[in-house]
C-alpha cells in the first residue's frame, strides 16, 4: 500500500515533510515500502517513537568507557577476585538490527586498584548499547577494564539469546549463545575454574 503525499491530510503531509533528511523520514519510508500506510492512525507517530528508541538503544556510541572508569578508580591492597555477576544486557545484532539479551559475568584480579562496582555494569551498558556481535562485545568489555586498571587478570562471560535466531532463520526459541574472554591470570586453569565454578553455583 503506497501512501502518496497528495492523499494525506495537510497536517500529516507537513509532519512527513518535516522529517525529510532525518531518521524519521527513513522510518516513514520503511513503513511505506513494507506495504503499510505510514499515515494510518496507529503508525503516524511511529517514526518519532522509533527514532527515540534507536537513539536510546545506540547511546553507547556517545559515551567513552575510559572516561567513565577513570572517575571511579580506587587504590586498595586487595588482590583477590572481584566478581560482578548477572549484569543484565540488551543489545542490537548488527546483522539484522534485532535484539539480543542476556547476562554478563565480569571478574578481575586487582593489582593496587579497583573499580567502583556500578561502573563495571555501566561499561557493559556502554558497549551493549551499540550495534554489536556478542563475540566482540565480550572482548571489548574485558579490554576496557584491562586498560583502565591493568589487573592481574580479567574475564568476561556472556550468555545471551538472539531474536535473529528465535524469530527468523532457524527459529530455535530455546537456544542461547555463550562467549568468553579470558585475560592474564584467568588463562590459568585454576583461576579460570574458580571463576566458572562461582557462576555455575549461582545458575544452579
Strands 82-93 and 99-109: antiparallel
153 and 108 Cβ atoms separated by less than 8 Å? yes
The residues carrying an active-site annotation are 93-96, 134, 162, 164
In terms of Cα–Cα distance, which of 79, 92, 81 is closest to 193? 81
Amino acid at each position: 500500500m503506497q501512501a502518496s503525499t497528495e492523499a494525506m491530510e495537510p497536517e500529516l503531509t507537513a509532519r512527513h515533510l518535516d522529517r525529510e533528511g532525518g531518521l524519521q523520514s527513513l522510518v516513514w519510508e520503511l513503513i511505506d515500502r513494507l506495504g503499510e500506510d505510514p499515515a494510518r492512525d496507529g503508525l503516524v507517530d511511529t517514526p518519532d517513537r522509533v527514532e527515540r528508541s534507536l537513539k536510546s538503544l545506540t547511546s553507547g556510541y556517545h559515551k567513552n568507557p575510559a572516561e567513565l572508569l577513570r572517575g571511579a578508580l580506587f587504590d586498595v591492597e586487595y588482590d583477590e577476585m572481584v566478581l560482578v555477576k548477572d549484569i543484565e544486557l540488551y543489545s542490537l545484532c548488527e546483522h539484522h538490527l534485532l535484539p539480543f539479551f542476556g547476562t554478563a559475568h565480569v571478574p578481575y584480579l586487582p593489582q593496587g586498584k579497583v573499580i567502583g562496582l556500578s561502573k563495571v555494569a555501566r561499561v557493559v551498558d556502554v558497549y551493549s548499547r551499540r550495534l554489536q556481535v556478542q563475540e566482540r562485545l565480550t572482548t571489548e568489555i574485558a579490554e576496557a577494564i584491562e586498560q583502565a586498571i591493568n589487573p592481574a587478570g580479567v574475564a568476561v562471560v556472556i550468555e545471551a539469546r538472539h531474536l535473529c535466531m528465535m524469530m527468523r532463520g532457524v527459529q530455535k526459541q530455546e537456544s542461547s549463545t555463550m562467549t568468553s574472554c579470558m585475560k592474564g591470570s584467568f588463562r590459568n586453569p585454576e583461576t579460570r575454574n574458580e571463576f566458572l565454578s562461582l557462576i555455575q553455583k549461582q545458575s544452579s
